[in-house]
Amino acid sequence: MHYYRYSNAEVSCWYKYLLFSYNIVFWLAGVAFLAAGLWAWSEKGVLSDLTKVTGLHGLDPVVLVLVVGIVMFTLGFAGCVGALRENICLLKFFCGTIVFIFLLELAVAVMAFLFQDWVRDRVKEFFENNIKSYRDDIDLQNIIDSLQRINHCCGAQGPEDWDFNIYFDCKSESKSREKCGVPFSCCIPDPAQKVVNTQCGYDIRKKSKSQWDDHIFVKGCIHALEAWLPRNIYIVAGVFIAISLLQIFGIFLARTLISDIEAVKASNAF
């Protein structure tokens, strides 16, 4: 007896161009992040002197922007070319990386829930390291100021954490005018003032602690964030679910397209 194989396997144009559209957004976002990061570095003169990056002991926010940009650019490029050229290797690279990122996010979320004390200690250590480098990088300085101003907090555990910074340290022999003070973002804003008083935190910690409440925020930013999370748990969960669904959708498109391409190649082999 003779068996005949009638194959109607074909690559779905719908999945192919939907995946291409999905990845073009990734690619354009990656280009935008890279452009913003390189521009910020050029403004700080880092591109002409890379030791400015290695000399910073805290977090340089621009590095984070560049890393995100590189990852998104690479994934977007691999997904776009893989979809258009029906390249299984590029599609598997895209799919595998998205799966890895998704599992990494899931693992971080589970660890943050199960090991809260350990996470709190790491956040405290991270915040203190960045307080030390507060005056070393303008972007880091702006982020810390925004965090303190928005959350009405000061330092990691409290205002005394600013002793970690050489300019604000009460015990150092520094002649800095900011000695024994706090950044202006720790100050309780005066509604009557239209111009920000950047010197409002000067010498504040030379006063007794009972007077601090009238001038600066005394709650640490870690406690402020811990209080913020329960109040906004639905927003945080919604964002996490939305990102997860986008990643799962991308994985589904890539796996479906890979299956179509493999089916076509298998049918052509007969």
How far is Cα 220 from Cα 84, in angstroms, rounded to an integer?
A: 52
Residue ranges of the chain with per-residue pLDDT less than 70: 1-9, 45-58, 269-270
pLDDT at position 2, please? 42
Q: Per-residue pLDDT tens for 131-153?
A: 998 988 888 899 999 999 999 99
Cα gap 210→217, rounded to integer Å = 12
- What pLDDT sits at residue 4? 40
| DSSP secondary structure code for residue 211 in this structure | G
Whether 139 and 65 have beta carbons less than 8 Å apart is answered as no
Q: What is the pLDDT of residue 219?
A: 93
Predicted pLDDT of residue 116: 83
d(CA 130, CA 226): 19
Which of 132, 138, 131, 134 shows the shortest CA–CA distance to 41? Answer: 138
Cβ atoms of residues 103 and 244 within 8 Å:
no
- Residues with Cβ < 8 Å from 145, sequence gap 6 or more? 183, 184, 185
pTM of the model: 0.79
Q: How many whole angstroms separate alpha carbon 67 and alpha carbon 253? A: 25
Distance CA 83, CA 236 (A): 32
CB atoms within 10 A of CB 228: 15
Give the residue extent of every domain in the chain.
11-115+233-269
- Alpha-carbon distance of 33 to 132, in angstroms, equals 27
